[in-house]
Chain A
């Protein structure tokens, strides 16, 4: 059975070009970039190149503003803790109610250690509540951390506007851009963003690597303390093969940015429109316009997400769900709850996330299978 991979917000295929770029550093060029000898030292040049590739993808002016990390979660933790350590007297944090656990769970833990956390709500389409945000700003607000795009719905937040408001008040601003980098054209040099998190495996790079953009001049304290690597901002020998792979993935993402917003978007729209027209009682979760080009989140009334996923799995179609049974808890995802989506639709919500490797045939096959899957489960459901 052929695998139809529509779960690219969870992780992506490593691009063949990325793998080729990595292999020499897993085989022959295993030197340590910090070494004095040229066998190791020559590797440092490739790490620097990757840094430039990452900077170019997000529009950072200087490669030195890129700090390599182990991924999105470490980038998020590093940014938030850096600011809190640098200004220990400020005890208020602002995040959105729909942040990824890498930010949300960290802030919940900080709330137990004496911090006050304001979670800014979203409307029924998942759009950021700017009025509530403005009213929440305080003189002791240490940091504002708001994601660029939501991983479950793909809804995009007005990052430039939020960044400008923070800059006016002199409050450090961080954005978790893990889902947006490579899908949304961005230029951080034109916005007062202090920190931006990205992850390799969401843009056809390897797992276990990511980066944090740190605007030059932003106050910073390292999270991982050790050797002098990364200019003393993160201890630990560089994960050279992964960093080189991330650089290559960043370069390719920039090259394919247009494709992402034309052909991938067209496939996503086709999938979404066809399902909504062929299946009764279902609805797109999230704003239709302010949304990533690759993400479609559809709620099917009166059936449960895990059961839908397993029936899709029988056809080789991979996706994910915000239902209780798949979120590892007993309640539907905090994102869908924050949008106040009714329970009967939240439990039956499926996220389809595409990539430039998906084909029209795959999308058409999925469009063909969804109505029968929904019909089968509705015939078992006691709700109508």
Chain B
């Protein structure tokens, strides 16, 4: 027996907005008979481009029906831009939570909504699948993009969790290694970003003298060797309000590419590795 919240039971026993709109502005279909659940979502926009009516038809278990019903209640009255920001987490939260093994029901709701919005914008589902890259799970037709999104939004860390949220890996199990590799990749990317953020904030927290020391160290290690290879060099003159005053020397001093060296090379590097707030000025 699944542990469903009262809200899930209510939306399952008394689903809202069941049906289909004739001549809809948006229509989204996801899932299949083989997958064990499927959802068809249709919506109509009013004069202000807000969702005035939305209907669903769902084949699936109690939580699939409740998730579809909840989704229609959430997006009613929203613009498409607002609706496209609704995540599977919003659907699950609206229902007071879903059992872990049933989270894929909320993801299906989210996917149907995206498909309906894409339909409105004239993007066909086949094009979409092609844009989203290759299918990782053949049994349930789940793409790498779908898996990545679920990992990022719901902070998933194991293959089992990915299966609970996307169904990927729930069939023959051949793709388990690939899913594990995707989890690792997403985790590494996230930690790289976090590292970058950390170094940025760290630099911004330093005193001005510490900043100048750090800058000198950075220029000596990462910038000057490159310039020197072309017979040039630079000197750090000052740092004031995140503006780095630099004097170009040697071959660089009279070079016509000096301005772009400053902006594209030095400033870019400083922004990426020390702080995005830094600007470079040549004197």
| A contacts, CB < 8 Å to B | 302-307, 310-311, 314, 323-325, 328-332, 343-344, 347, 379-383
- Tell me the complex Cα distance, A304–B12, Å: 13
| Contacting residues of chain B (141-163) with chain A, CB-CB under 8 angstroms | 163
Q: In the complex, are the beta carbons of B57 and A381 less than 8 A apart?
A: yes
| Contacting residues of chain B (27-86) with chain A, CB-CB under 8 angstroms | 29, 33-40, 57-62, 64-65
Q: Which 9 A-B pairs have the closest CB atoms?
A: A330-B170, A306-B61, A382-B57, A325-B61, A324-B36, A382-B40, A381-B59, A343-B34, A343-B33
- Tell me the complex Cα distance, A192–B12, Å: 52
Chain A residues, CB < 8 A from B12: 307, 310
Q: Does B243 contact A (CB under 8 A)?
A: no
Which of the residues A329, A380, A381 comes within 8 Å of B170, measured between beta carbons?
A: A329
| Contacting residues of chain B (1-43) with chain A, CB-CB under 8 angstroms | 2, 12-13, 15, 18, 29, 33-40
Which of the residues A304, A329, A343 comes within 8 Å of B60, measured between beta carbons?
A: A304
Q: In the complex, are the beta carbons of B170 and A383 less than 8 A apart?
A: no
Q: In the complex, are the beta carbons of A380 and B65 less than 8 A apart?
A: yes
Interface size on B, residues (CB 8 A): 30
Chain B residues, CB < 8 A from A302: 33, 59
List the B residue with the shortest CB-CB distance to A306.
B61
Q: A305-B61, A347-B36, A381-B59 are known contacts; what are 17 more A-B pairs with Cβ within 8 Å?
A: A302-B33, A304-B36, A304-B37, A304-B59, A306-B2, A310-B12, A325-B60, A330-B35, A330-B140, A330-B170, A331-B139, A331-B170, A347-B33, A380-B18, A380-B57, A382-B40, A382-B59
Q: Does B167 contact A (CB under 8 A)?
A: yes
Question: Chain B nearest CB: distance from A321 CB in Å?
Answer: 10
List the A residue with the shortest CB-CB distance to B4.
A310
- Tell me the complex Cα distance, A183–B110, Å: 49
- Residue in A302, A306, A330, A379 whose Cβ sees the most chain B Cβ within 10 Å: A330
Q: In the complex, are the beta carbons of A306 and B62 less than 8 A apart?
A: yes
Question: Chain B nearest CB: distance from A316 CB in Å?
Answer: 14
- Tell me the complex Cα distance, A325–B2, Å: 10
- Tell me the complex Cα distance, A383–B62, Å: 17
Q: In the complex, are the beta carbons of A303 and B59 less than 8 A apart?
A: yes
> When A and B form their complex, what is the total count of cross-chain residue pairs whose Cβ atoms lie within 8 Å?
69
Interface of A (DSSP majority class): loop
Question: Chain B nearest CB: distance from A149 CB in Å?
Answer: 26
Q: In the complex, are the beta carbons of B38 and A307 less than 8 A apart?
A: no
Q: List 18 A-B contacts (CB under 8 A).
A: A302-B33, A304-B36, A304-B37, A304-B60, A306-B2, A306-B62, A307-B12, A310-B12, A323-B36, A325-B102, A330-B35, A331-B139, A331-B170, A331-B171, A380-B18, A380-B58, A381-B58, A383-B38
Chain A residues, CB < 8 A from B62: 306-307, 310
List the A residue with the shortest CB-CB distance to B41.
A382
Which of the residues B60, B163, B171 comes within 8 Å of A307, measured between beta carbons?
A: B60
Q: In the complex, are the beta carbons of A325 and B65 less than 8 A apart?
A: no
Question: Chain B nearest CB: distance from A142 CB in Å?
Answer: 27
- Tell me the complex Cα distance, A381–B101, Å: 22
- Tell me the complex Cα distance, A306–B99, Å: 14
List the B residue with the shortest CB-CB distance to A328.
B101
Chain B residues, CB < 8 A from A380: 15, 18, 57-59, 65
- Tell me the complex Cα distance, A306–B37, Å: 11
Q: In the complex, are the beta carbons of A330 and B58 less than 8 A apart?
A: no
Question: Chain A nearest CB: distance from B184 CB in Å?
Answer: 23
Q: In the complex, are the beta carbons of B13 and A344 less than 8 A apart?
A: no
Chain B residues, CB < 8 A from A306: 2, 61-62
List the A residue with the shortest CB-CB distance to B169.
A330
List the B residue with the shortest CB-CB distance to A330.
B170
| Contacting residues of chain B (255-273) with chain A, CB-CB under 8 angstroms | none
List the B residue with the shortest CB-CB distance to A311.
B13
List the A residue with the shortest CB-CB distance to B57.
A382
Q: In the complex, are the beta carbons of B58 and A383 less than 8 A apart?
A: no
- Tell me the complex Cα distance, A359–B205, Å: 78
Question: Chain B nearest CB: distance from A382 CB in Å?
Answer: 4
Chain A residues, CB < 8 A from B170: 329-331
Chain A residues, CB < 8 A from B38: 382-383
- Tell me the complex Cα distance, A329–B102, Å: 11
- Tell me the complex Cα distance, A172–B29, Å: 53
| Contacting residues of chain B (232-279) with chain A, CB-CB under 8 angstroms | none
Contacts A307-B61, A382-B38; A344 near B171 (Cβ below 8 A): no
Chain A residues, CB < 8 A from B33: 302, 343-344, 347, 383
Q: In the complex, are the beta carbons of B61 and A304 less than 8 A apart?
A: yes
- Tell me the complex Cα distance, A314–B38, Å: 24
- Tell me the complex Cα distance, A307–B67, Å: 13
Contacts A304-B37, A344-B33; A383 near B171 (Cβ below 8 A): no
Chain B residues, CB < 8 A from A310: 12, 62
Chain A residues, CB < 8 A from B18: 379-380
- Tell me the complex Cα distance, A330–B15, Å: 24
- Tell me the complex Cα distance, A306–B36, Å: 11
Chain B residues, CB < 8 A from A347: 33, 36
- Tell me the complex Cα distance, A114–B180, Å: 27
Which of the residues B36, B65, B167 comes within 8 Å of A332, measured between beta carbons?
A: B36
Question: Chain A nearest CB: distance from B158 CB in Å?
Answer: 16
List the A residue with the shortest CB-CB distance to B12.
A310
Question: Chain A nearest CB: distance from B167 CB in Å?
Answer: 6
- Tell me the complex Cα distance, A323–B34, Å: 11
Q: In the complex, are the beta carbons of B36 and A330 less than 8 A apart?
A: yes
Chain A residues, CB < 8 A from B37: 304
List the A residue with the shortest CB-CB distance to B38.
A382
Chain B residues, CB < 8 A from A328: 101
Chain B residues, CB < 8 A from A323: 36, 61
- Tell me the complex Cα distance, A323–B61, Å: 9
- Tell me the complex Cα distance, A329–B29, Å: 23
